[in-house]
Amino acid sequence: MSWTRRRVEPFHAVAINRLAHARARRGLDVIHMEVGQPSAGAPRAALEAAARALHEDRLGYWESGALKERISRHYHDWYGVAVDPQRIVLTPGASGALLLAFTVLLEAGDRVALGRPGYPAYRNVLRALGMEPVEIPCGPETRFQPTAAMIERLDPAPAALIVASPANPTGTMLDRVELGELVGACRERSIALVSDEIYHGITYGSRAVSALELDAAAPVVINSFSKYWCMTGWRLGWLVAPEALVEAMNSYSGNIFLTPPALSQHAALAALDADAELAGHLVTYAANRRVVMEALRGFGITELAPADGAFYAYADVGHLTADSLEFCRQLLGDTGVAFNTGLDFDPVAGGRTIRISFAVSQQETAEAMRRFGDWLQAR
Ligand SMILES: Cc1ncc(COP(=O)(O)O)c(C=O)c1O
């Protein structure tokens, strides 16, 4: 028997997270800013709905029609667009939605364009499916986002383009004009557009624009309850499929996942009405963002991606290290502050960058920055 193995790239955030937990088990304290998750849990109303469902529902294989209808209303309320609930496919997180979108839209061997730095699972899942990620280096001149001109220059045209606005790790956003130009460039060259909108709702200036506002029919839009709704471990997300792909999406989804988690669907329906509580987290993120950015500048770390949204600071520390993974390991070992290396997001230049997730409390943020500053001075 012969075994073939596709190489899967490691997720360094997970390795640093393991080190951080090992440190905690030794009785040492840790400030977790290495993983991209809100430290707050699901909204109260979601927990109450889940508690009720535990008693009243048998929690079998199930897809909530009410949740699809409520998500459809969410598009009306947030973006003013009409989305037929039938086009909404519920998935285990945005991760499940990405897998589903790639599987239905693309074939093995297809080339898929994406910006670098970017969320590592895009390229790793594409590779696992036998597809070819085409990374487009994106720097500060384009706010770390791909532009329509970059897509027009790709020869041959890729089968698909993935964009995220706000993005991970930079938090930068595409405005209505930029996203509109990308939508146009994709339409022009028959490139499928996958818009990952998982950080919508977490912005610090103007609100994020959905690809569906610019083209209500063609883009595949992905979202999740993980970030704005603080429900990472509930593993629930969705995608909005173009009409012609709905049946295929549902067929594949049934085969790969059967159904999304039942308990989470009950909770998510209630979470969609919890904006008043969630607004409190946005105030915390905004305060933390200010503290982190000011502190970093004060430490002489001035090359910072403009975090228009999400809850990350992406910083160039190339003047301090050429090995940001080791830098993060040492910082964790010496101070208990866990940051992530940029290598997850940019395998080429990420050795000189770090990502700091500030979706923690204001006290933790202030303490982490104090320790980081002292540590840098003592180096
Ligand atoms: C840009 C982006 N997309 C997708 C995901 C996957 O999220 P989930 O599967 O928890 O919904 C993440 C998680 O960090 C992310 O940052």
Residue nearest to atom 4 of ligand 1 (CA): 94
- Ligand 1 close to Cβ of residue 95 (< 6 A): yes
- Ligand 1 close to Cβ of residue 38 (< 6 A): no
Which ranges constitute the DSSP H helices of the chain? 12-25, 44-56, 65-79, 93-105, 120-128, 148-153, 176-188, 211-214, 246-257, 262-271, 275-298, 324-335, 362-378
Q: pLDDT of 233-246, one tens digit each?
A: 999 999 999 999 99
Q: How far is CA 20 from CA 27, 223, 330, 367, in A?
A: 11, 29, 11, 16
Q: Rounded to the nearest whole angstrom, what is the distance from the C-alpha of residue 145 to the centroid of ligand 1?
A: 17
Q: Which two tokens stand for residue 225?
A: 């309850």
Partner residues linked to 356 by β-bridges: 313
Task: Summarize the confidence of residues 146-153 as an average pLDDT.
Answer: 98
Q: What atom in ligand 1 is closest to the CA of residue 225? A: 11
C-alpha triplet 169, 173, 177: angle, nearest 5° = 155
Q: pLDDT of 283-316, one tens digit each?
A: 999 999 999 999 999 999 999 999 999 999 999 9
Task: Summarize the confidence of residues 109-137 as an average pLDDT.
Answer: 97
Q: pLDDT of 165-180, one tens digit each?
A: 999 999 999 999 999 9
Q: What atom in ligand 1 is closest to the CA of residue 224? A: 11
Q: Which two tokens stand for residue 244?
A: 């012609």
Positive/negative CA dihedral, 33, 308, 100, 108: negative
Domains of the chain: 12-36+276-378 (3.90.1150.10), 60-273 (3.40.640.10)
**258 confidence band (pLDDT: 50, 70, 90):** very high
